[in-house]
Structure 1
Amino acid sequence: MASKTFDTIIVGGGSAGSVLANRLSARSGNNVLLLEAGQDTPHGKVPAAVLDSYPGTAYLNPAYTWNRLKVTTEVIPHNNPGEQAPPLRTYEQARILGGGSSINGQLANRGAPTDYDEWEARGAAGWNWNAVLPYFKKVERDMDFDGPWHGREGRIPVRRIFPDLWPEHAKAVGQAFEQAGYKYLLDQNGAWEDGYFPITISNAYERRVSAAIGYLDPGTRLRDNLTIATDTQVSELMFDGQRCIGVKAVVAGRPQEFRGQEIILSCGAIHSPAHLMRAGIGPAAHLREHGIAVRSALPGVGQRLQDHPAVAVAAFLKPHARIIQDWSRRHIYTGLRYSSNLPGVPAGDMFTVVTNKTSWHAVGEQIGSFIIAVYKTYSETGQVRLRSAGWSEEPQVDFNLLSDNRDLERMMDGVRRFAALHLTPVMQGVTSDPFPASYSDKVRQVGLLSRRNKLITDALAKALDGPERLRRYLIQTLVMEGTTLQDVLTDDDKLEAFVRKAAVGVWHASCTCRMGAPDDPMAVVDPAGRVRGVAGLRVVDASVFPVVPCANTNFPVLMTAEKMADTILAGT
């Protein structure tokens, strides 16, 4: 394998890489090599946690993530150097074939038409809504609906669990939404309008269908012109002058080189810009700080990092309202799209999902939550920078969530809105003891799958189902982070402090190698994914988004890879 020259080398076997490997190798004359740092997931050997309809044992499993990646999410102060730096947080990024689609919540949505029209307005010619809709349809095999919005022949099945099968908590939430004036929509991926709906999921017959399962199926793997190398971490991009000619990698602990006519980075919005910067492609001054010779001075590499800021309002679920596991292990059934109506902000800018359990363990089954996300975010001051020139060191990642005041304002409004919803009779019928919730590292630690955590949570769950006074005490001392529901409803200062501290990203890192016009100094790639200033190198993943869409990013990534694959096959 090392001596062979491939037509295309794809670095990263996540959602984008899986699509590209399938589509580019469908042309028999193309020799394609797919490199993935994590483990393989071949048919018949997909780990049970990955196949599970409930994702909580996959996305918190250190076997499937980059374990040394830490990020900051709070705004970093620039005008007060003496102020304490924000804390580092764990940020799960997938390290397994299929990437995020192998561990995510399986939410399969697309975003607003206005998102993609904005992409084109920002310089991504040919990426408006009418241009991308056919590729969204190409991705999916919709098991419920057809018509102009839907695909029926794609490699990723999508479906919904309708209200007659919702647990009592989800049904009550639907009633509460109706009483608050929100419309019921059958189809989240139909016309873009406000309302609540059954969440669309990339799941068939109660099993996850990742990009690797859908696109790297047994038939695709039989192709003579497709090579898949897992447990293979790329350490360096190789160049001959300004042309990228291959990669150096560590394969099962041993160094190796692979040569290709074209190299495609599909490592995600954190690792793709890091690869570029280590190769001398990026902000010149920053590269020189680390002793890296500048190959192409692109100030936009690693800049304008985005994610969707989110916080939660949670509550104890009364026993009759909890999930019945007899027919589904899903934990999210219901979503709500609504408009903040802030001046100049497009409709449907806010998104809330309702979780009917919050973790795999017994306490998680007793807690439900509203996860409130600013889906049309204006915070664009995040960045990915190198800590050193060494390939094995994770980059420095600062999201600067809520750096735009419109995001902070809408998040505060969302917390007020869903805190108040818990005080309605319909919600009080299924919940008690509501509280503002933070996805802190403490919560993550308890969420790790271990015998110790199971024993602790089993004991705590029994106590929570005991006397009301004991439950209230345990929730206040062990579960809450110090801010009460009354605080966020009556004290704006406490609400703002909670939101600033508690807001986290939802694993939708995007925009660090943006597509743009030739005259845009911050553009990193052209609308075909080609990296500016060098030859033989493209980026195809969420980092090329000009702005993060109002969606969970997995389906926009799949769409992007499908569209880029067509472009590459057309020779442009």
Structure 2
Amino acid sequence: MISPDTPFFDTVIVGGGSAGCVMANRLSADPSHRVLLVEAGEDTPPDAVPEPIADSYPMGLFHGDRFIWPGLSAFTTRRQDGSRGTRAYEQGRVMGGGSSINVQSANRGLPRDYDEWAGLGARGWAWDDVLPYFIKLERDLDCDGPLHGKTGPIPIRRILPPGWPAFAEAATDAFAASGLPWRLDQNGEFEDGVFPPAFNNESDRRVSTAVAYLDPATRARRNLAIWPGTRLAGLLMEGLSATGVEVEREGVLLRIAAGRVVVTAGALQTPAILMRAGIGDGAELAALGIPVVAHRPGVGRNLRDHPTLTFCQYLPPRLRLAAAYRRASFAALRFSSGLAGGEASDMYATASARAGWHGLGRRLGLYFLWCNRPKSSGRVRLLSPDPFVYPEADLNLLSDPSDLARMMAGVRTLVRLLVCEALNPDSGDLFPAAFSPFIKTLSRVSRRNALLTEVLGALLDVPPMLRQPALRRFMSGGVALAEVVADDARLEKLVRTNVFGVWHASGTCRMGDPEDPQAVLDPAGRVIGSGNIYVADASVMPRLPTANTNIPVIMIAEKIAAGLV
């Protein structure tokens, strides 16, 4: 029950991530509308952004658990022996959320992605419907024309010639050997090609939504309250409506009355919040002792991520970046697998001149490869009604055979392109990489790790006859990568063992037709059947876009906010 003296806000926003900051800005623009934004992590106001977040080189993940949810993990895939792979799944716990810790990629996806959303029941979310919101959010510093915005809060830029370092030229040449053309604008040219990656960055500094949308003028609004360091204990419910929220702040439980609740906690935690409020699969909620408010079995299902592999390559000194050169990602390749069960632009790769902040990382190129149009899906399962117990996330990567086939073909394509004169023609210097617990520990910023990685890095600068056996032993399971890609069984094992989700979790509270029993939200972002509970984050996506998810999430928040003002 809400007592008469309980603080009241017209809208309470749960989660100050990429979407939550957008919502706080847009909804508080009406001075008569009182808005509360709660965020579990620390604040990052524009005049006090921590240096690891502001850095052009994505450093947030290298500072322990300061900016992420500690101990959060996800099952990745079922391996050939039947076991489930698992790994840490880093999600932002800081104002700005993913936009404060990610690689700053500013990729919209393709028109067909959003037309597909509309076809799956999210009416009003086709390409022509969402384009105005992509335009609204951006201030593109390089590209003009009817597809681009010039006055939005998020600056978007690219590193272009003639300002390229040697690695940028080499990586672009390597990707161009695919036969695909160079294209300037991955957000406005929708065919396959080699692109300079677009990123949300200005003056060589990250621009998160906490900076772009919670600017000083917005923060000065008297009708906007921002509470960092505040965790949600639960929604306060009367039937299928929320009367408010209960939060933990400075060790004290507080109740806040609300006219409306907008949940923007991300695709892993948002469905858990709804399930604990009694919205989900009725039988599963009852088994946990949670009173069932609405039987919506789609809550927590349709979990999707791009299955991803990473590779490292020893770089000759001429291709290495100086430590002072912060932005390290210079080339992206959008391509088609050409396989049965695939489709156009179903694969993606990126090239970075730095595999880590330290002396070892500066000697290695880092390449990401993922399936842009995965068919596999998993689920988020609630383990406890306790609001401070993480749900179980099972990405179920590669469960559709076409995803495995396309990743195997993609590895072969990537190896063929990277082993070249422009980068390094020696196949023995290319190896699979993983953000293993050892590498994660080694990557934490400390003086000890700086010294240790300088020593390890120097050991790479020995003749190939000494370096490559060590790489094979410690990084490739004792065999050369060239041998692995030539053998289907070995390659399948490599893919299944090393695949991970690239932090693009989505789809777990998907929008759709209210008559669809698997839909959770109507096309306005409202929980079906509810009058005042909304969701506006990656969990609303019916399918993954052909893109990193941050810019699409900002678009989603802009569009849903426009319907609420």
**1:179 CA drift (Å):** 2.8
- TM-score, structure 1 as length reference: 0.95
Secondary structure of the 1:530 match is coil
Aligned to 2:123: 125
Letter in 2 for 1:489: V
**1:175 CA drift (Å):** 1.4
* 1:157-172 matched pairs, under 5 angstroms: 157-172=155-170
Deviation per CA, 1:137-180, whole angstroms, max 9, x where unpaired?
A: 11100111110111001001000001333332231121122233
How far apart, CA to CA, are the structure 1 residues paired with 2:161 and 2:417? 20
**1:343 CA drift (Å):** 4.4
How far apart, CA to CA, are the structure 2 residues paired with 1:511 and 1:469? 48
Pick aligned residue for 1:53 from 56, 63, 68: 56
Aligned to 1:419: 415
How far apart, CA to CA, are the structure 2 residues paired with 1:150 and 1:59? 34
Pick aligned residue for 1:512 from 500, 508, 512: 508
Aligned to 1:62: 65
How far apart, CA to CA, are the structure 1 residues paired with 2:28 and 2:342? 42
Aligned to 2:358: 361
**1:467 CA drift (Å):** 3.4
- TM-score, structure 2 as length reference: 0.96
How far apart, CA to CA, are the structure 1 residues paired with 2:333 and 2:178? 12
Aligned to 2:287: 289
Letter in 2 for 1:352: A
For this pair of structures, how many residues does the alignment match?
A: 562
Letter in 2 for 1:54: Y
Secondary structure of the 1:200 match is coil
How far apart, CA to CA, are the structure 2 residues paired with 1:248 and 1:357? 44
- Percent identical across equivalent pairs? 46
Aligned to 1:561: 557
1:341 paired to 2:344: no
How far apart, CA to CA, are the structure 2 residues paired with 1:234 and 1:133? 33
Letter in 1 for 2:27: L
1:376 paired to 2:373: yes
1:153 paired to 2:156: no
1:549 paired to 2:549: no
Deviation per CA, 1:100-132, whole angstroms, max 9, x where unpaired?
A: 000000000101110000000000000000110
Secondary structure of the 2:174 match is helix
How far apart, CA to CA, are the structure 2 residues paired with 1:337 and 1:239? 46
How far apart, CA to CA, are the structure 2 residues paired with 1:406 and 1:335? 23
Pick aligned residue for 2:320 from 316, 319, 322: 322
Aligned to 1:477: 473
For structure 2, list consecutive stretches of 5 or more residues without a partner in the other structure.
none
- For the 8 Å contact 1:59–1:104, the answer to whether it is kept is no
Go from structure 1 to structure 2 and tell me whether the alpha carbon gap of 1:210 and 1:2 turns closer, same or farther (over 3 Å shift): farther
Go from structure 1 to structure 2 and tell me whether the alpha carbon gap of 1:464 and 1:255 turns closer, same or farther (over 3 Å shift): same
* 1:359-508 matched pairs, under 5 angstroms: 359-380=356-377, 382-428=378-424, 433-482=429-478, 484-508=480-504
How far apart, CA to CA, are the structure 2 residues paired with 1:87 and 1:110? 30
**1:440 CA drift (Å):** 2.7
- For the 8 Å contact 1:513–1:524, the answer to whether it is kept is yes
Letter in 2 for 1:453: N
Aligned to 1:80: none
- For the 8 Å contact 1:74–1:402, the answer to whether it is kept is yes
Secondary structure of the 1:7 match is strand
- For the 8 Å contact 1:163–1:198, the answer to whether it is kept is no
Secondary structure of the 2:302 match is strand
Pick aligned residue for 2:36 from 27, 33, 42: 33
How far apart, CA to CA, are the structure 2 residues paired with 1:425 and 1:76? 35
Deviation per CA, 1:237-279, whole angstroms, max 9, x where unpaired?
A: 1012321011101012211111100001000000000001111
Secondary structure of the 1:495 match is helix
Query: In angstroms, what is the RMSD of aligned CA positions?
Result: 1.8
**1:502 CA drift (Å):** 0.7
How far apart, CA to CA, are the structure 1 residues paired with 2:284 and 2:450? 46
